[in-house]
Structure 1
Amino acid sequence: MVGSNDKNKLSLTIRYSVATLLLLVMVFPYLYMVLNSFADWSQVDRQLIPSSYSLKSYSWLFSGGETGTPRPWLNSFFNSVIVSVGSTVLMMVFGIMVAYALAKIKFRGRDAVNNFVLFHMFFPAIILLIPNFLVIQKVGLYDTYWAMIIPKAMSLWAIFMYTNFFKAVPTTFIEAAKIDGATEFQILYKIMVPMSKSITTVIFLFLLMERWTELLWDMIVVRSDEMLTLNVLLSQMFGPYAGYPGPMYAASVLLTLPIIILFIIFGKRFKEGMQFNLK
């Protein structure tokens, strides 16, 4: 009996050790970036774990570096916030409205729209890159916030996720609300949306993360330095700022920080939403 317990303990120890090792392998690149962002400039990229630290990279970054002004780093960071939040909010609003119609409102052609959404989810988005760019140019939105926000204002994945969730909501709730005189919009925003907080958190975080890390589209539709997002700025600065790896690491940490903070804040609801998706 003792031998069996010893074997179980040994097996458990091996599993935890392997899991810990794999976790360290996955997390270490990010830890390396964070450590080097705080490292003294003489220690950056010289060893795996720097031996001396300072805030010089961050102070250089926020003081503007060679330009003597917080731009372009801070300006690009706020551009990323505006574009990402604006696009995500629109994707959420349109996703909820379309999904509710597809899940709970009977209309002619509903099945065709559902099939189109499923088909388009597997359609390579890069194929539409040039047509979308030409449309942006024709309507005069090139090099504006709207050029980065409007083409990203619809998410078929969000529609698909909300549609499946709304289908699981009992129709009796909707029928009871209609008997009380509620309109479709009132049912949507006073009943359906509050019931979908967990799945909304999952969709919001994934959409925001996807839009926050967007590079190709933002690189194509902006020209002026004032409109650059932080992703685009970082991609363009590897050449001119190759001699300043510390500030580059610091800017990369700033790029990831909002996503990490949001996951920490909404972690509980995110887990609840993921549990619903796995059912």
Structure 2
Amino acid sequence: MAGHKKKSLTIRYIIAFLLLLIMVFPYLYMVLNSFADWSQVDRKLIPTSFTLHSYEWLLSGGQSAEPRPWIRAFFNSLIVSTGSTVLMMVTGVVVAYALAKLQFRGRNFLNNAILFQMFFPAIILLVPTFLIIQRLGMYDSYWGMILPKALSLWAVFMYTNFFRAIPDTFIEAAKLDGASDWQIIFRIILPMSKSITIVVFLFLFMERWTELLWDMIVVKSDNMLTLNVLLSQMFGPYGGYPGPMYAASVILTVPIIILFLFFAKQFKEGMQFTLK
């Protein structure tokens, strides 16, 4: 009996390892080919000769005589992604608190409207949003990239469900002590929501970090280019260079991987709540 259980457990471990390998191998393949000699890129399943040629070619501007603003583009992406994520989280917390804990006329209608709006693709608002930003004089600026991404209905939905699980007694006790709604949100509700906040932060930051279409439309000058836009411009004429393309993909994923590894424990706790 014990031998049968041990054999069954071994089979499960083998199956889990194979599934993990299937999921991880595409990324591993990309990393290996980003360091592979160009003569082996996409020609061997696992390259045997490695070099930094792809990264050197990429960071030197490829075949262009003018160096590309990689460092500036990286910090542009960091500023835009961080600013947008912080605004989305703040607006998400405030709106979710109102929907979950405040009583006001039209609350159910507003909640249903938010859920209904989540089914619409964001691209349908692309043109009117661009026209508004242009008329406000925010074209080719940080504000033009950040403000249109200042609200996430998904963040509102996630926070609303979490806040509803927090007992109202905490809020009633705080109001008896004279706390305002803003104090309740940022001193009581938000500290109790660390796990779900990490999940929301990681997903929102990842979504904004990988944004391409909006930044491509609203940015004109080289100094305002984000990393995604710079890479897309570069690989239009250089699509026949797979090694540097793999290197560029690795560069884009590194910040996301670092964040996930740093917040792995909190992310796991938050995901356990969302799956309940």
Say whether the fold is shared (TM-score over 0.5).
yes
Alignment match of 2:138 (pick from 131, 141, 144): 141
Gaps of 5+ in 1: none
Alignment match of 1:24 (pick from 14, 17, 21): 21
Q: Tell me the number of residue pairs that the alignment of Structure 1 and Structure 2 aligns.
A: 276
TM-score scaled to structure 2, two decimals?
A: 0.91
| Aligned partner of residue 17 in structure 1, secondary structure | helix
Matched, 1:229 2:226: yes
Residues 177 and 187, structure 1, Cα contact 8 Å, conserved in 2: yes
Alignment match of 1:265 (pick from 262, 267, 274): 262
Any residues of structure 2 matched to 1:56-67 within 5 Å, and which? 56-67=53-64
Residues 199 and 274, structure 1, Cα contact 8 Å, conserved in 2: yes
Cα RMSD (Å) of the superposition?
2.0
- CA shift, 1:105, in A, is 1.8
Alignment match of 2:275 (pick from 270, 273, 278): 278
- CA shift, 1:138, in A, is 2.1
Letter in 1 for 2:193: S
Residues 219-245 of structure 1: CA deviation (Å, up to 9, x unaligned): 222233332222222233223223543
| Aligned partner of residue 48 in structure 1, secondary structure | coil
Alignment match of 2:32 (pick from 11, 20, 35): 35
Letter in 2 for 1:206: F
Residues 73 and 251, structure 1, Cα contact 8 Å, conserved in 2: no
Aligned to 2:77: 80
Letter in 2 for 1:181: G
| Aligned partner of residue 196 in structure 1, secondary structure | helix
| Aligned partner of residue 140 in structure 1, secondary structure | coil
Matched, 1:152 2:149: yes
Letter in 1 for 2:70: W
Matched, 1:248 2:245: yes
| Aligned partner of residue 97 in structure 1, secondary structure | helix
Using the alignment, how far apart are the partners of 2:60 and 2:125 within structure 1? 40
Matched, 1:218 2:215: yes
Residues 139-164 of structure 1: CA deviation (Å, up to 9, x unaligned): 22222222221111100111111111
Aligned to 2:10: 13
Alignment match of 2:185 (pick from 174, 188, 191): 188
Residues 79 and 230, structure 1, Cα contact 8 Å, conserved in 2: yes
Residues 95 and 154, structure 1, Cα contact 8 Å, conserved in 2: yes
Query: Mean alpha-carbon deviation: is it higher for 105-114 or for 4-13?
Result: 4-13
- CA shift, 1:258, in A, is 0.7
Residues 143 and 224, structure 1, Cα contact 8 Å, conserved in 2: yes
Q: What percent of counterpart residues are identical?
A: 74
TM-score scaled to structure 1, two decimals?
A: 0.91
Alignment match of 1:112 (pick from 106, 109, 114): 109
Letter in 2 for 1:137: Q
Matched, 1:102 2:65: no
Using the alignment, how far apart are the partners of 1:82 and 1:241 within structure 2? 27
| Aligned partner of residue 253 in structure 1, secondary structure | helix
- CA shift, 1:33, in A, is 1.0
Letter in 1 for 2:209: W
